[in-house]
Structure 1
């Protein structure tokens, strides 16, 4: 590309120099010749007036004075008479290289002034040489500018190519380089936006993998507990049947969790929100987690208003409740109470215990990703809040010590029910 720029710039410069220099050389040479002819004509007229003045005052022609006044000129003066008086001053130019101009008066005086054409041609050559030198300087400047411009264009293009190759290799860092050229800066901006999108996609993929592993761990833990109950009650057929059915429920819940995660990855969770029975979700979670709390010597209680309905996704709300119960089991203490209430704006589900709670320093960051005060993964509460927000609700820490979390869900109204039935706009 640099060679093409240099070649094209040089061709344009040569054409411009030729289009301007050739006519300029022709005009300059003609002007010099015309000026020389006009100067000879002026000399002849002035000399004629001087000769006339000398005759009027009856003075002779002073050839030495004429030679001083008209150097480098060959002069012939003829004064009327029979025969005419002739006066010659200077050296006659070589034949064929003479420029001549003459003048005559009514009194019979005739004057002819000549000069060597070689002097005029030498002046023409000097001016033409100056024009050629200026043309060469112009070409040199054009080549220099072409080199600078080519470097200014090719270096950013090489930089952009390296950035594009880096994006292709998975390094999605925006370069934020700008080059002062509008078109190249626009390409750089597009590459930076692409890098940001690629980085966001990669982060989402990594987060999805992390979230999936974390969310699958909870139902797998519940399934393990049920299988342990089956093993412990192997001599009690009724208990084995009951625990086997519970294990099947856990397996089905595991399948739903996978579906929820895939739907969240495709950003389709908003289509799963529907009016649900809060009691059914809570009873399911209490049934699943009660054996684990019982083995830990703790109680899991369900309190508050019954028969509440809210806008949520059953799987998503179940995962949120499960994450809060697991968090209380691992980090809390005493009995855990799941209480429900209702007001004009929200259906509230509160999960609280009587443990040591959360420190003031950690309380403000408890929902941040990878933040944990008890050696956990730091993902449970982050994902729980994200799932609640996806259902149009919110998850808040309403009391740090002892810890109490509250889920605020949209109540079922005629408008929300109609929107779900008719589908998203």
Structure 2
């Protein structure tokens, strides 16, 4: 492209120079020739006037007396009837230009100069035109190279940006080139890079969230399947299979919620549900793990509460809090339900060391962890809570008290008031 820009610019300049140069040469040649003839006519008239004045005064017309009026660089011939011819200067050889006039006394004055004088002047004029044209071509070439670089370099840079986008590097470069059209293309590429980056971030976040949220339930499900394989009691098999089926349904709901949140966090499927049922289900599901750790898990609070949300998402939030208490806490883990205004609250607490002072509310940020964990659990739990219009907060750092706030079902809230 750079070569095409340079060639096209030079072609235009050469055409312009050719058109105007030839026209200028023709006009200047005619002007020089005409000026030379005018000078000859002027010289002839001046010499003839001098000759006539001398004849009228009965003075002899000689070479010495006419030298002052005759041009020194031309040949002058004066012819009179009955008088010897007078010549001034050197007679030119070859092609000549001449002018001739006859006076009232019959005298004739002829002035001649070599045609090479005019040819030399035309040659100097042509040399000047060629030099100026050459300078114009050089200047045009330099300008063409500069413009080609100005245009081609940004295009090369934009091509590299597009190639980077295609290779999976969506970082915007935010480079501008001072050319409106190229800057527009750069704006579009940067906007596309930002959109691709957001999409990739969302996909990676979904993968991380899904792997974290599904790890513990899948482990529990595999343990129940192992119990089914190890027992021959038909009633136990049915009971464990029913529990496992319920876990699969909750996992399906969690996956659906994660997919929904990854596309648009504002979309939700909140419904009214029995909060006690979800709390008891989590306590019963985690009781074997706590029994193995030699720790109790209990629940208390106001019974019969109904909340608005997604039961599967609420289960996952509580499961995250209970799992964190199992991994990082100590002593008894307590789940307590209560109401505040038009909201229902589920508090999860234990007797462990709690959250470090320097972390505080940052414990909900992704990759922030004080226990060498992934730092995803609480962040995902908060996202799930907010997707249902609720919120997850740290009410107390030591001992730790996490609280899940959910909207209270409208009918129950009206009855309570």
The TM-score, its normalising length taken from structure 2, stands at 0.84
- Per-residue CA distance 1:200-249 (angstroms, 9 max, x = gap): 333322222221111111322443565577789x5987666544432332
C-alpha spacing 1:52/1:348, structure 2 compared with 1 (3 Å): farther
Q: CA deviation at 1:35?
A: 1.5
Q: CA deviation at 1:354?
A: 3.0
Q: CA deviation at 1:8?
A: 2.0
2:275 matched to 1:274?
no
**8 A contact 2:2–2:152 mirrored in 1:** yes
2:365 matched to 1:365?
no
Distance of 1:184 and 1:396 partners within structure 2 = 49
Q: CA deviation at 1:374?
A: 1.9
**8 A contact 1:306–1:340 mirrored in 2:** no
The SS at the match of 2:172 is coil
- 1:308 alignment counterpart: 306
- Per-residue CA distance 1:108-157 (angstroms, 9 max, x = gap): 66544332222111111121122122223322332333333334433433
- Per-residue CA distance 1:47-76 (angstroms, 9 max, x = gap): 344445545665544634644551122223
- 1:119 alignment counterpart: 117
C-alpha spacing 1:360/1:342, structure 2 compared with 1 (3 Å): same
Query: Among 131, 136, 143, which residue is 2:134 paired with?
Result: 136
C-alpha spacing 1:349/1:204, structure 2 compared with 1 (3 Å): same
Q: Which moved more, 1:349-358 or 1:57-66?
A: 57-66
2:91 matched to 1:73?
no
Q: CA deviation at 1:16?
A: 0.9
- 2:46 alignment counterpart: 46
**8 A contact 2:366–2:376 mirrored in 1:** yes
2:92 matched to 1:93?
yes
Distance of 2:125 and 2:46 partners within structure 1 = 28
Distance of 1:18 and 1:199 partners within structure 2 = 55
Alignment of 1:349-364 (within 5 A): 349-364=346-361
- 2:214 alignment counterpart: 216
2:154 matched to 1:153?
no
Q: CA deviation at 1:270?
A: 1.0
Q: CA deviation at 1:367?
A: 1.2
C-alpha spacing 1:281/1:104, structure 2 compared with 1 (3 Å): farther
C-alpha spacing 1:390/1:335, structure 2 compared with 1 (3 Å): closer
C-alpha spacing 1:230/1:210, structure 2 compared with 1 (3 Å): same
Q: Which moved more, 1:393-402 or 1:156-165?
A: 156-165
Distance of 1:219 and 1:324 partners within structure 2 = 14
Distance of 2:302 and 2:228 partners within structure 1 = 32
Q: CA deviation at 1:88?
A: 3.1
Q: CA deviation at 1:379?
A: 0.9
Distance of 2:291 and 2:390 partners within structure 1 = 31
Distance of 2:60 and 2:406 partners within structure 1 = 131
Query: Among 159, 178, 181, which residue is 2:179 paired with?
Result: 181
Distance of 2:214 and 2:410 partners within structure 1 = 33
- Per-residue CA distance 1:312-340 (angstroms, 9 max, x = gap): 22222221121112112222233323323
Q: CA deviation at 1:362?
A: 1.8
Distance of 2:86 and 2:390 partners within structure 1 = 123
- 2:328 alignment counterpart: 331
Distance of 1:276 and 1:51 partners within structure 2 = 135
C-alpha spacing 1:14/1:175, structure 2 compared with 1 (3 Å): same
- 1:4 alignment counterpart: 4
Distance of 2:142 and 2:52 partners within structure 1 = 63
Aligned length: 408
Q: CA deviation at 1:85?
A: 7.6
Query: Among 384, 398, 401, which residue is 2:381 paired with?
Result: 384
- 1:321 alignment counterpart: 318
Q: CA deviation at 1:23?
A: 0.1
C-alpha spacing 1:369/1:107, structure 2 compared with 1 (3 Å): same
Query: Among 279, 283, 290, which residue is 2:280 paired with?
Result: 283
Q: CA deviation at 1:29?
A: 0.8
Distance of 2:173 and 2:217 partners within structure 1 = 43
Distance of 1:167 and 1:325 partners within structure 2 = 42
Alignment of 1:193-272 (within 5 A): 193-224=191-222, 226=224, 241-267=238-264, 270-272=267-269
